[in-house]
Each structure stands twice: as structure tokens, then as C-alpha cells.
Structure 1
Amino acid sequence: MDITKLINSELEYYQPIIETASKVNNENLTVWRNETVQQRQERISLECYDLLKGQVSYGPFKGLKLNKDTWWGKLDLGSMLLGLYEKEILDIISNIKQDEYSNFIDIGAADGYYACGILNSKKINNAICFEQSQKGQEVIHQNWINNGSLGSLTIYGEANLQSLEKLSEEDVQNALVLIDIEGFEFELLTTEVLAVLKNCTIIIEIHNWADDFINKYRTLLMNAAKHFKIEPLKPVDRSCFNYPELRHFTDDNRALLISERRPCLMRFIKLTPL
């Protein structure tokens, strides 16, 4: 390699690193050394948000705009923008063919990251969200507007047997369903609800800290097996080493950026209609 090109390339590599270091003063260092882990994660997540201008830069939701003033996931904004958050689910979405599913049903929709992301990707043109928080419902709708109001979005409150039975036959025919409701999946997914969703592909995040978890999980799997093939999803590695936007981050901060703060290596299961 020509030495001049090599020097220029190396200077270009180090430029953002040196620029960042030049802005650090003793006051910054004092504050950072006294941060809690949560405070640091929020700080670097928002720093990543600013670097990427609030737009997802990688993965199936590339181009999706996220609101900095979130209701639910401020600490996860950075990994969402990098296409690394819950990558087990993102990898499934990446492999979906356009119009493979008639609808996307998001139970526990939070800020609407998945619903708005899927509509923005145009892989599925109709999204139905269940989010019991009024604030969450408002944020979902605003995020949809911020991204051009693509496709069709319907937002309901709590998901239960009664609200799911109100969905039309077309809504639950060949839909992709995502369920993340912090341990209440065991109360929701009764035999009756599973029968309502029997023609859907369902991805469930399993929360093992629920009371009487073993018995509840065993019952869920037994009931689901009547209508579905059950597949535990393998954990997916996440790495920040090849993102040029992060080369000025410390090793600790890069690792913390992709932490999802889970108490253990958690499990997603995928249910496919028999």
C-alpha cells in the first residue's frame, strides 16, 4: 500500500477518536466515574442516538425513525438503531418475504418499535397493536406518523380473550404475532386464546421469573402443542466491533450499549401452526 494512502487512512480512522478525547475534561471524568450502570447506559444510548440522527442504520428496520423521548425503551435506543436489539426476533423478520404474512399483531407493543419497523420495511402492510398503557398507545401512533403513516395501524388496549375474539377471521389468518408482556404470557395464553391464534405464527418471550414458573411453562407448552410446532430460538451473538460509528467508544461502553439488562440468558419460542 502506498505510504501516503496508509497515513491518510490511519489519520481518518483516529480522527473521531481524537476529536472525542479532546472534548473530555476533568468535570466529565468525575461525573462519569460516579454514574450508576443504568445512568451510563442511558448516556451512551442517547449518544448513539445523536450519532445516528435517530434513524435505524442497520437491520430489517433500516430507515426507521425513533423518538428520543420514549415511553419504554430509552436505554435500548442505541442497540435498536444499530439493529442489534432482540436480534433473535430481528433475524426472523429479516428473512420474512414480502406479503408472507397477512398481518402483524404486537401484544405488549410498548413504543411501537416492531409494529412501525415492520410497516416501514413493507414486509407486512397491516399492524395491530395491543398496549394497555394510554401513554404507550399515543407514542405508538406518533411514531407511526413520524415514519410517514405507512400501511395500516390499529391500536387496542389490553390483550385478553375478549379483545382477541373481536378480531376478524382475516386478522388472525396467517398473521405473525409477537408477545412480550413481562410474564403475563402464562395468564394470556390459555387454551381458548391459543385456539383463536391457531392459524398464526407466534413468537413469545418467556419470562422465567413468573411465580410458579415451571408449572405454568409446562402447561403453556402442553396446550400450545395441540395447535403448533414449538421451536425454542437459539441465542444470537451481538458484536459492536465492526460499527465505525462506535470506534471512539470505550470497550466497556460498547459492551454496555448492547446489554439488554436481562437477569439470565432468556428464551424466545416460536410457534408455527401444525
Structure 2
Amino acid sequence: MQYVPRAHGSEWAPKLLGTYECEIAPAIEEALTRKPRLFVNIGGGEGYYAVGLALRSPGVETVCFESSRRGRSMIRRLADHNDVVDRLRVFGTCNREALAATLSHGSRVFVLCDVEGAEWELLDPVAIPSLREADVLVELHEFRRPGVGEELIARFRATHSIESIAARSRSPEDCPIDLASLAPYRSTLLSEERPPGMSWLWMRAVAR
């Protein structure tokens, strides 16, 4: 992927090195084996996942929500750099109505959600029944909404197989390239500056 010169709302270097959120790489690979037809990225940043998935899976419709105007501009620029503009739709802030409308247009959906605590409001299968048949990978923000993980598990346990994935510190072995010559800066380059105790829920729809 041809990348933009900075990140939006996250660290830039780990994305270039291929270590960014490496904990969830197996979940994303599994999601792709389940043959989604629609990928919905909520909280797109500068487009790392939206553009990456558009490149990886050309036949999958990709929709990205990003509340920041600067972020949306960066997503479009990244999409242009990688010739996927025609396969990616970019919108502003995602609310329940927007998410419900988006999910109503697709089947076999993969949702990737990173919305700084708003996952509590958005990911509600009672308000948005289509979520019951969607695969959902969500970053939890317990430091903003204590108890959000337990709440989402309670909401989805009847319809999904749920796995918790804990964030962990990085080591040189995580990096696919040799950083020996940059040893004094290695920890800084690999760091994602996450609060302690971060995690994700990988929720696979049983109906799929």
C-alpha cells in the first residue's frame, strides 16, 4: 500500500512497519475467509483499514465512517494513492440511523469499529437488528465507558461466538523487518501509545 505521510488519531510508524494492532490480524484474516460482501469501517482514521481492505478484497464493497473532516480528506487521499477511490465510500459521523441504513444494503457484513467509547451506543442489535448477522470486530474503550465490554458481550452472546483479544506490548520479533540499526529508537517506532488494559471483541455471527 502507498501510504500518506502522517496518521490521524493513531501512531504512524507501526503502520509502515506492519506491526499496527498486530493482535487483531488473525481475526481480520478469519473475517476475510468468511467471504464478506460488505466491509464497514467505523472510525476510519486516515484509512489504514478501509483502503487496506479495499486493496486486499477488490470484490468487497467498502464503507468508511470518520467524524473528522481532516480524517476524511486523508482517507480520500490514501484511496487515490492506491487507486481504490471507486471502491470506497466515505461518510462523516456514524450514528445508529446511518449504521442501520448501511447494513440494510448488504449481506455477509464485516464491521470494524473503533469509536472511542461510542461503541456502547452504536453496537446495539435491538436497535439495529442487522447486527445480529454481521461479524463485528470492536476495540473497547473501558477507560471512557467502564463496563462496555461486559455490556457488548451480553448483547451479542445469543447470536455470536465471542473472543476477547488483549492488547500487548511490542517486541522486535513483531516487526517483519530488521530494526537492529535503529535499536535506540526501536521501542518508540513500535509503540502505539495505548492506555493499559486495552482490548478488542471479535464477534462472529453464528447465523453466517
TM range (shorter): 0.7 to 0.9
1:161 match: 96
Cα pair 2:23 2:165 within 8 Å, conserved: yes
SS in 1 for 2:93: coil
Which residue of 2 is the match for residue 202 of structure 1? Answer: 136
* Alpha-carbon distance, 1:145 to partner: 0.7
Higher-strand-fraction structure:
2
2:122 is aligned, of 165, 180, 188, to 188
Question: For the structure 1 residues 234 and 267, does the alpha-carbon distance in structure 2 shift closer, same or farther, using more than 3 Å as the test?
Answer: closer
- Structure 2 equivalent of residue 250 of structure 1: 183
Corresponding position of 2:69? 134
Matched residue, 2:15: 80
In structure 2, C-alpha distance between the alignment counterparts of 1:238 and 1:219, rounded to whole Å: 29
Secondary structure of the structure 2 residue equivalent to 1:223? helix
What per-residue deviation string (whole Å, max 9, x for no partner) do you get for residues 4-49 of structure 1? Answer: xxxxxxxxxxxxxxxxxxxxxxxxxxxxxxxxxxxxxxxxxxxxxx
The SS at the match of 1:233 is strand
**Distance across 1 between alignment mates of 2:81 and 2:53:** 14
1:120–1:150 contact (8 Å) kept in structure 2: no
Quick check: 2:103–2:130 contact (8 Å CA) kept in 1?
A: no
Counterpart amino acid of residue 246 in structure 1:
L
C-alpha separation between the residues in 1 aligned to 2:134 and 2:170? 29
Cα-Cα RMSD: 2.4
Counterpart of 2:197 in structure 1 is 265
Cα 1:185–1:96 change in 2 (3 A) is closer
Cα distance in structure 2, aligned partners of 1:152 and 1:193: 28
Secondary structure at the counterpart of residue 163 of structure 1: helix
CA gap 1:219/1:125 in 2 versus in 1, 3 angstroms: closer
Instruction: Measure how far apart 1:221 and its partner are.
Output: 1.8
Q: 2 CA distance for matches of 1:151 and 1:271?
A: 29
User: What amino acid maps onto 2:200 in structure 1?
Assistant: F
Give the 3 Å change call, closer, same or farther, for CA 155–220 of structure 1 in structure 2: same
User: Which has the bigger relative contact order, CA under 8 A and spacing at least 6?
Assistant: 2
Compute the displacement of 1:96 (Å): 5.2
Counterpart of 1:270 in 2: which secondary structure? strand
In the TM superposition, what is the alpha-carbon distance from 1:138 to its structure 2 partner? 1.5
Aligned length: 205
1:238 positional shift:
3.8
Q: Deviations over 1:188-225 (max 9, x none)?
A: 223434522221110010111124x13x4433221122
1:225 paired residue among 157, 164, 169: 157
For residue 250 of structure 1, give the secondary structure of its aligned residue in structure 2. Answer: helix
Question: Any stretches of 5+ residues in structure 2 without a counterpart?
Answer: none
State the distance in 1 between where 2:172 and 2:79 align.
28
What corresponds to 1:89 in structure 2? 24
Bigger radius of gyration among the two: 1
- The structure-2 alpha-carbon separation of the partners of 1:260 and 1:233, relative to structure 1 and needing over 3 Å to count, comes to same
| 1:70–1:263 CA distance, 2 compared to 1 (3 A) | closer
Q: Which residue of 2 aligns with 1:28?
A: none
Aligned partners of 2:61, 2:94: CA distance in 1, in Å? 18
TM-score with structure 2 length normalisation? 0.86
Residue identity in the other structure for 1:109: G
- Identity, in percent, stands at 25
2: CA distance, partners of 1:219 / 1:120: 34
- CA deviation string 1:68-114 (max 9, x = no partner): 044333xx222111210001222333455578111110001111100
**TM-score, length of structure 1 as denominator length:** 0.67
Task: Give the gaps of 5 or more residues in structure 1.
Answer: 1-63
